[in-house]
Amino acid sequence: MTKTQTVPATATGAEAASGTAQFLSPLVLGLQALAVNGKQAHWNVRGANFIAIHELLDTLVTNAQGGADLAAERIVALGLPVDARVGAIAEKTSTAVPAGFTQWEDMIRSVIADMDTVIADTQAAIDGLDEVDLTSQDIAIAIKAQLEKDRWFLFAHLAA
């Protein structure tokens, strides 16, 4: 019987996995929180721009979930587990998104504030992964590009 190896084969691989997890784990949690809170915003946004923002928030949620999955799968592919259970997300993230009905301008500002936190964590991952694992850095770069595009689409509603 062949034994399946579930951890990196070398010390260098283990170091790369650990370093990658250090930088990508906050992204997984932040993106999962953004998805949950983006859906909260989607359900409770009110005002003249309702339908456009409602639909943009659904796109943001889908993209955040995709980014979280990409980052988590990279960590797992390197042989480490991911803990993105609801309790871990709640413990390590926060949100500006209010609990109830909110006018569209305030809701967009709240979602953008949450996005800015994740974007900052993503930039920290990009910077840190430069010396750890370039493949993982590419993943962080792709996540940041999508976050910034989604932010732009939301911010355009506020721009004068």
CB 100 within 8 A of CB 46: no
Q: What domains can be seen in the chain, in order of their start residue? A: 13-89+100-155 (1.20.1260.10)
DSSP H helix total and E strand total for the chain: 5, 2
CB 40 within 8 A of CB 99: yes
Per-residue pLDDT tens listing for the chain (160 residues): 555 444 444 445 788 899 999 999 999 999 999 999 999 999 999 998 899 999 999 999 999 999 999 999 999 999 999 999 999 999 999 999 999 999 999 999 999 999 999 999 999 999 999 999 999 999 999 999 999 999 999 999 998 7
pTM score, whole prediction: 0.90
CB 114 within 8 A of CB 96: yes
CB 12 within 8 A of CB 86: no
Q: Which two tokens stand for residue 122?
A: 């993503």
